[in-house]
Copies of this chain bind each other. A is one copy, B any other.
Amino acid sequence: MTITTRTIAAPVVPTRSALTPLGLDAVTITDGFWNERQRVNGTSTLPHIEHWLEREGWLGNFDRAAAGTLPEGRRGREFSDSEIYKYLEAVAWEIGRLGGDDALDTRFRAVVDRVAAAQEADGYLNTRFGRPGQGARWSDLEWGHELYCLGHLFQAAVARERTSPGADDGLLRIATRAADLICEVFGATGIQSVCGHAEVEVGLAELARVTGERRYLELASLFIERRGTGVLADIEWGRSYFQDDVPIREAVALRGHAVRANYLAAGAADVAVEHGDAGLLDALRSQWDRTIARRTYVTGGQGSHHQDEAFGEDFELPSDRAYSETCAGIASIMFSWRLLLEAPDVRYADHIERVLYNVLATSPSATGDTFFYANTLHQRTPGVSSPPDEVSPRASSSERAPWFDVACCPPNVARTMASLASLIATSSDAGVQLHQFASSTIRTTVLGGLPFVAEVETDYPRSGVVRVRIVEAPTDAVELSIRVPSWADDGRLVVRTADGVEVEDRAVEPGYAAVSRSFAVGDVVELAFGVRPRITQPDPRVDAIRGSVAIERGPEVYCVESLDLPGGDDTLSRVEIDEGVVPVEADGGRLTVALRARPVTDGSWPYAEAFASTEPGEAFTASIAPYHSWAQRGPSTMRIWIPTHHA
């Protein structure tokens, strides 16, 4: 049995969905915040990753597999194959983003050839298992990551097929041979278990969507339904670590390892959509709601625990040791986007934007060759710079590092950056929806196949003015919907004709502001809303940040960095803010804010009957910057949440 396929150059293409994703063939980011990051990603990050995959020998593992010399000389962790696949996926999107690139295409094919040579006759593909001297195939489902690696292989093949259809490089065939094998091994009468790290589910679902092969989808469904019934071993951190504690339909929130939890939820959303399974979709929506309301940092980051890279309990979100893994942010975007395609609720797009600006943009340095693995909200001691040519053994490095022993984040950043245009807009029967703001060109069809072309122009997030200029549109009315973020003030939607005549001007509330109009070429729809700095308080149940506020402006969370303070680290450790202070806009996205340095006494014991000094500390003015830009000027200390002074 087959399912319907749709040719769209995007990572997620349901056979049918409320909103149709617009892919890299339809949306191009042309300027601004994300264009610059995409440029760095293509010119710096991708070569950087290829260099390290080669240098660390993880690509070489495939050559050794092909030469039959494994396990001797195998390098890297059990999941290192997946980094090659994520790299391939990133390159596939990058080629799509650029509308083709011969040199990149040649590099892509060279890697695919090395992968192809390592695949076994029956389709099995993994450099860590199955040979004499290695663990048997599927013998360590808890930790072996074999299916996880294949999930990334499938996503890479999907990306390639959607951006370079008919490329004839063999990658899709590698993927389907492996998928056919696991359908046999793990199907209804096969091994009744799952992979410790969810990921194969999203890969299988999309491979089904690209090939039309329904059994890939049904295998994903089996994996989704099996998990939660204790099919994996109990471990120190409990089965919740791999979401094997509670069946997905019964869970109330995401829990356990934050990347696994989100990948699983994303895969479950794919299955639910294809099966028209409203019950499963409802369960996922309600888990998303609770996770956002109680288990997410103000940055959009998820996962409080270092030990198991896991969610904490509800409201357990200390800034100290906030883990907030880059990959968990990316995984959370994947889950949210799937829900958004089924229901245009502004909260999904708001959350995606929050993660994009405060997690995805935070991980890579401006030069794209060092990365945060974890994204803490409070750095108490100046980090130690990672040597530019050394692998960091530490996920929790307080400075960005060029590479990690566990290097999931850099290629995950790369594939997300390269495919970012696919998160900007969607279409529906009625028209086009704009979810994220970036100067871009949108070329699609509406009303059953009529061309619709628009140019988006904005300097967002510096301002909240977004202009959509119609380049081509049908004569019949088309509905253009533009997201008004939930934090936006004074939203106003203005429609002008090419010659500047205002035909509409109205206030709009957070949500999607829609204009339905028979657009003429040159018409401009302008959404404008305030991006004034906001002082944000936490829910009192988030105990660890009680009595503190964060400063936000538009989609960006700000932080105080010691390098911007008189007195540096010492001042940062004592910084406080008066209630009612209003930060002032400064150059380059910075804000100027009045702060104080609280007087402290160094005692011999930090708990006493009378401690809190009520004297206001010394006042000073500081320049603060968006969190994503921190730690790029050498070791420093930093905090997002600033204690308030009760005068």
Chain A residues packing against B (C-beta within 8 Å)? 234-238, 289, 292-294, 296, 298, 304-307, 312-316, 318-321, 347, 378, 380-381, 393-395, 405, 486, 534-548, 550, 573-574, 598, 600, 602-613, 641, 643, 646
Most B-side CB within 10 Å, residue of A293, A381, A543, A600: A543
Bound together, the chains give a CA A305 to CA B305 distance in angstroms of 9
Q: Which of B238, B312, B546, B603 contacts A546 (CB 8 A)?
A: B546
Across-interface contacts of A550 in B (CB, < 8 A): 607
Q: Which of B298, B537, B544, B608 contacts A318 (CB 8 A)?
A: B544
Most B-side CB within 10 Å, residue of A305, A314, A380, A606: A606
Across-interface contacts of A393 in B (CB, < 8 A): 234-236
Q: What 7 A-B pairs are tightest by C-beta distance, nearest first?
A: A539-B606, A307-B307, A547-B547, A537-B611, A544-B544, A318-B318, A313-B380
Name 24 A/B residue pairs within 8 A (Cβ), A-sorted.
Answer: A236-B394, A238-B394, A293-B605, A298-B607, A305-B307, A306-B306, A306-B307, A307-B307, A312-B321, A314-B380, A316-B321, A318-B318, A318-B320, A318-B544, A319-B544, A486-B605, A534-B609, A536-B609, A539-B603, A539-B608, A544-B545, A546-B546, A546-B547, A646-B646
How far in angstroms is the closest Cβ of chain B from A610? 7
Across-interface contacts of A607 in B (CB, < 8 A): 298, 536-539, 550
Q: Is the CB of A600 within 8 A of B313?
A: no
Known: A235-B393, A394-B237. A543 touches B606 (CB 8 A): no
Known: A234-B393, A347-B604. A609 touches B320 (CB 8 A): no
Bound together, the chains give a CA A236 to CA B605 distance in angstroms of 31
Most B-side CB within 10 Å, residue of A236, A312, A381, A542: A236
Across-interface contacts of A298 in B (CB, < 8 A): 607
Most B-side CB within 10 Å, residue of A294, A319, A320, A612: A320
Q: Is the CB of B609 within 8 A of A537?
A: yes
Q: Which residue of B lies closest to A384 (CB)?
A: B238
Q: Is the CB of B605 within 8 A of A292?
A: yes
Bound together, the chains give a CA A292 to CA B606 distance in angstroms of 8
Across-interface contacts of A598 in B (CB, < 8 A): 540
Q: How many copies does the complex hold?
A: 2
Bound together, the chains give a CA A394 to CA B641 distance in angstroms of 32
Across-interface contacts of A315 in B (CB, < 8 A): 380, 573, 606
Bound together, the chains give a CA A238 to CA B321 distance in angstroms of 16
Q: Which of B289, B318, B539, B546 contacts A321 (CB 8 A)?
A: B318
Bound together, the chains give a CA A646 to CA B289 distance in angstroms of 30
Known pairs A298-B607, A539-B611, A550-B607. 7 more at Cβ < 8 A? A318-B321, A536-B608, A537-B608, A539-B606, A540-B598, A543-B548, A646-B646
Q: Is the CB of B537 within 8 A of A612?
A: yes
Bound together, the chains give a CA A538 to CA B606 distance in angstroms of 6
Known: A312-B320, A315-B380, A380-B316. A604 touches B292 (CB 8 A): yes
Q: Is the CB of B546 within 8 A of A643?
A: yes
Bound together, the chains give a CA A394 to CA B237 distance in angstroms of 6
Bound together, the chains give a CA A640 to CA B307 distance in angstroms of 23
Q: Is the CB of A606 within 8 A of B294?
A: yes
Q: Which residue of B lies closest to A354 (CB)?
A: B605
Q: Is the CB of A320 within 8 A of B646?
A: no
Across-interface contacts of A535 in B (CB, < 8 A): 609
Known: A306-B306, A314-B380. A293 touches B540 (CB 8 A): no
Q: Which residue of B lies closest to A319 (CB)?
A: B543
Bound together, the chains give a CA A602 to CA B293 distance in angstroms of 8
How far in angstroms is the closest Cβ of chain B from A645? 10
Q: Which residue of B lies closest to A487 (CB)?
A: B609
Q: Which of B293, B306, B318, B643 contacts A604 (CB 8 A)?
A: B293
How far in angstroms is the closest Cβ of chain B from A465? 22
How far in angstroms is the closest Cβ of chain B from A314? 7
Across-interface contacts of A573 in B (CB, < 8 A): 315, 541
Known: A540-B598, A543-B643, A600-B539. A313 touches B609 (CB 8 A): no
Most B-side CB within 10 Å, residue of A393, A538, A539: A539
Across-interface contacts of A321 in B (CB, < 8 A): 304-305, 312, 316, 318, 321
Bound together, the chains give a CA A541 to CA B380 distance in angstroms of 10
Q: Which residue of B lies closest to A381 (CB)?
A: B313
How far in angstroms is the closest Cβ of chain B from A591? 16
Q: Which residue of B lies closest to A350 (CB)?
A: B605
Across-interface contacts of A604 in B (CB, < 8 A): 289, 292-293, 347
Q: Which of B319, B543, B544, B606 contacts A541 (CB 8 A)?
A: B606
Q: Which residue of B lies closest to A295 (CB)?
A: B606
Q: Which of B304, B541, B574, B602 contacts A600 (CB 8 A)?
A: B541
Q: Is the CB of A395 within 8 A of B305?
A: no
How far in angstroms is the closest Cβ of chain B from A300? 10
How far in angstroms is the closest Cβ of chain B from A293? 5
Across-interface contacts of A543 in B (CB, < 8 A): 319-320, 378, 544-545, 548, 641, 643
Bound together, the chains give a CA A609 to CA B488 distance in angstroms of 12
How far in angstroms is the closest Cβ of chain B from A263? 22
Across-interface contacts of A347 in B (CB, < 8 A): 604-605
Bound together, the chains give a CA A312 to CA B307 distance in angstroms of 14
Across-interface contacts of A294 in B (CB, < 8 A): 606
Q: Is the CB of A537 within 8 A of B610?
A: yes
How far in angstroms is the closest Cβ of chain B from A256? 14
Q: Is the CB of A541 within 8 A of B394?
A: no
How far in angstroms is the closest Cβ of chain B from A182? 30
Q: Is the CB of B307 within 8 A of A643?
A: no
How far in angstroms is the closest Cβ of chain B from A580? 12
Across-interface contacts of A536 in B (CB, < 8 A): 607-609
Q: Which residue of B lies closest to A318 (CB)?
A: B318
Across-interface contacts of A236 in B (CB, < 8 A): 393-395, 405
